[in-house]
Amino acid sequence: MSASTLTVPRSNTSTPAIGKRPKRRWRRFQEWSLVTGLVCVTLLVGAAVCAPALAAFDPLRVDTATLLEPPSGGHWLGTDDLGRDVWSRVLFGGRTSLSIGVAATVLATALGVVVALVAGYWGGRLDGFLMRVMDAFLAFPGLVLALAMVSFLGPSALTIVLAIGIVAAPGTARITRGQILVGRRLQFVEAAIVTGATHMRIIVRHLVPNLAPLIAVQASLNLAFAILTECSLSFLGAGVPPPAPTWGAMLQKGYPYLDSAPWVAIAPGAAVFLTVLGFNLLGDGLRAVLSPRRA
């Protein structure tokens, strides 16, 4: 065979991108997290809002004839050690946990953003002082610090909101301050400073709108933390005083009956799990969707 008859195989110039398929799968997972979290949160919030219509019994009614009754057609999730309907108590406990979580998240977001704006915009010694105060709060475990505050002030819905809001604010301040330091060096912000715009105008018109995606993500994650902390405080006996139904108190009451009547603890435990999971998935999904690096 002569050399002229030899054929060289042609290489395929259209080589597929190696990282394209994994990136698509990762984006699909992020979108799935957002949708799943949104559905979970919507259902849980809807159930809490519509608790009076969905509850089959009064959550505070004691019925000694139905002590620790297993799930049935009359009591969908059974009854507790006082004969109270577990399904009704889970619904109304969700109202308590969600209301405290939302109020604490609003407080934490407001405190954190204000501290971050003051520290990140003006900087200097004020920035160093405020960040050292935030570091001092972050040095303590959040649950321990909240428990100490509630024990000092006395257990009530207001003190729990204050404690959780103060505990969650330093993390929000730290994350938001970093974004403000980046935003302050942007060209349109520097142009506004050169043109003589007031500090309030620069903060409200230029810095705060750029913080909206970060605040939305951090608020959803803080909400999961607030609900979990409220349930932990109630489980430890430092939550909303009885007879108000709370998921943490229901877990604490149902813990001794895990062997004989597990439904008393499983129902509120599942509610806490789904709520925290839903808000965490929502936060992760929002972070992926609102990220400026998303291609």
83-110 pLDDT, tens per residue? 999 999 999 999 999 999 999 999 999 9
Token couple for 223: 């909400």
pLDDT at 212 over 50: yes
Q: Rounded distance, CA 215 to CA 124, Å?
A: 24
**DSSP assignment string, 49-65:** HTHHHH-SS-TT---GG
CB atoms within 10 A of CB 255: 12
Number of domains in the chain: 1
Q: What is the mean pLDDT of the segment spanning 238-260?
A: 91
The amino acid sitting at 235 is F
Q: Which of 46-55, 180-189, 274-283 has the lowest mean pLDDT?
A: 180-189
- 143 exposed, middle or buried (CB, 10 Å; 0-12, 13-18, 19+)? middle
125-134, 176-185, 222-231: which range is least confident on average?
176-185
Q: What is the pLDDT of residue 187?
A: 79
pLDDT at 250 > cutoff 50: yes
Q: Is residue 285 classed as helix, strand or coil in its secondary structure?
A: helix
For 196, the domain range is 83-290
Burial class for 21, CB neighbours closer than 10 Å (0-12, 13-18, 19+): exposed
Q: Return the pLDDT at 124.
A: 85
**Dihedral class, residue 83 (left if φ above 0, else alpha if ψ from -120 to 50, else beta):** left
98: tokens are 């969600």
139 in Cβ contact with 132 (< 8 Å): no
For 1-20, the pLDDT digits (tens) are 444 454 545 545 444 454 55
**Rounded-to-integer distance, Cα 44 and Cα 60, Å:** 21
For residues 240-260, average pLDDT: 91
CATH code for the domain in which residue 220 is found? 1.10.3720.10
Helices assigned H by DSSP within 13-80: 20-49, 51-54
Lowest mean pLDDT among 41-50, 89-98, 200-209, 241-250: 200-209
What distance in Å separates the CA atoms of residue 87 and residue 90, rounded to the nearest whole number?
5
Q: Is the CB of residue 261 less than 8 Å from the CB of residue 78?
A: yes
- Report pTM: 0.84
Q: What is the Cα–Cα distance from 286 to 292, expressed in whole angstroms? A: 12
160 within domain boundaries: yes
Query: Does residue 167 fall inside a structural domain?
Result: yes
Q: Is residue 15 part of a domain?
A: no
Of 242 and 13, the one with more pLDDT: 242
Residue 40 lies in a domain: no
